[in-house]
Amino acid sequence: MSGDEERGPADQRGLTEQRRLTEQRGLADWLPARLAAVAPSVTVIGDVMLDGWWSGSIDRLCREAPAPVVDITRRMFAPGGAANTAMNLAALGAKVRVAGLVGCDDAGMELRRQLRAAGVNTSHLHEHPDMVTTSKIRISSAGQVLLRFDDVTGKVPSDALAALALSLPAAVRGQDAVVVCDYGTGALQGPVRSALLEMLSSRDASQLAVVDAHDPRPWAGMRPDLATPNAAEAARLLGIQLTSGSDRPAVMAARRDELIDATGARAVVVTLDRDGTLLLPGTGDSHRTWARPATEKQASGAGDTFVAALTLARAATLPLSTSVDLAQAAADVVVHHPGTSVCSTADLTRHLASFADTALSADELARHIQADRAEGRRIVLTNGCFDVLHRGHTRYLNQAKQLGDILVVALNSDASVRRLKGPDRPINSVADRAGVIAALSCVDYVTVFDTPTPIPLIEKLRPEIYAKGGDYTPEMLAETEAVERFGGTVTILDYVPDLSTTAVVQRIRNGEGAEVGEAPVN
């Protein structure tokens, strides 16, 4: 399923209203709470585990070997793997079931306890006396992970797999979405895989299927809606090696058809850790997100958070590119939290709201740009009103970002918009416009200008690239001379003639929904 095609039985009401609200108020004000209110039902099936984070101080070496002695002062446990995906879904408001295998041990009891406390249905989480619950314990001191030891069942008993396979029809029936989390620890082999492939390959079109697997190829016959390999996993699918200097997004984009064929998915989202993600739909435009990484911390599970938020947004019928942007924001939240953590509705709301009032003064911006340029980064500047955000805007801004390393968006002030567009504009104040634009992962800095042209700002920032959208040529722009005087280049980006803010605003004022036959928004 692609574009804005709606799914049931998730809440079918109000996709048009969602669009109107997005256009009028911005993502930060309403979207996380709205998704929580829709509360899609999701089953997560796969390799559940328990993550441990033990920390302490080091004051001595042990006598029998030159190894540090860690005096443990703190032990923390959190659901990991498929269980972490389920925890994140529940924290974001989904109704969640988890299906998997655990042992009859303390780790299994703790895992089940935490899942239940979070509101996750564990009736399809099967125990077996001949298994150990997969556990990954990290030992750290002074913020540095020193060691991780894993406890994993060598061979999953056949009767455990049979029991899980028998319970899958009940676990999947009537759910809005199914997430398959295959990390290779054995819960999804044999009869479990066969049952899932049979059920989900013939699923109702309204049921979303997402595959998050170290190797998505065994799940290609399921024809999932989404597959989410990381860059290394995607490289293995393609039979290539990525070097440290590889332009990973460009490599993946060039091999889109091969990734779609290998995964069997309608769309592939390649996660690129500190470089964000790349959405590759089977048809239509690709879409990038850019991460806002933390400094190195003891954090794990951002990929699980990404998959959870992506699944929730798609199950609630949000457009695919919007869903990926939202998932990137959720992942950005958890990388700033230590340990294995989740992003809740409140966390996501605060994160998106934090981009309000983030416009920098020209002088502040110049100081940031000076530091970025000193590190070898190329600066891209663009400008506009960006009053009511639509697909043409986001496509244009993603293209602009890919011209360099740092994207600066200069917004026309409210007075400037009135001079350009008339007394009824802008619809949104410059503070609201700045907050929405700054929340886009492709945007690094936002500033505001009130002059007739951005030439004074160009002279202060001296961007390597000045990007402009529309049916212009560089010769038509007054800014071209200033850009080229400082060695910069003017680039004209794709023009989408059938999309305009004026038309969107008129539809809203007329109380109209999307036009019948309108092209889907990816």
Could you give the CA distance from residue 454 to residue 384 in angstroms, rounded to a whole number? Answer: 10
DSSP tag of 446: E
Q: Alpha-carbon distance 310 to 454, whole Å?
A: 37
Q: At 327, which amino acid appears? A: A
DSSP state of 20: H
Given the residues 176, 304, 325, 444, the one annotated as active site: 304
304 is catalytic: yes
The span from the CA of 187 to the CA of 155, in Å, is 10
Q: Exposed, middle or buried by CB within 10 Å (0-12, 13-18, 19+), for 163?
A: middle
Determine contact, residues 175/207, Cβ cutoff 8 Å.
yes
Gap between the Cα atoms of 414 and 43, Å rounded: 47
325 in Cβ contact with 278 (< 8 Å): no
Neighbouring residues of 202: CB distance < 8 A, sequence distance ≥ 6: none
Amino acid at position 222, single letter: M
3-class state of residue 279 by DSSP:
strand
**Cβ distance 521 to 4 under 8 Å?**
yes
Contact (CB, 8 A) for 447 and 361: yes
Distance CA 418, CA 229 (A): 46
Residue 123 burial (10 A CB sphere; 0-12, 13-18, 19+): exposed
Enumerate the active-site residues. 304
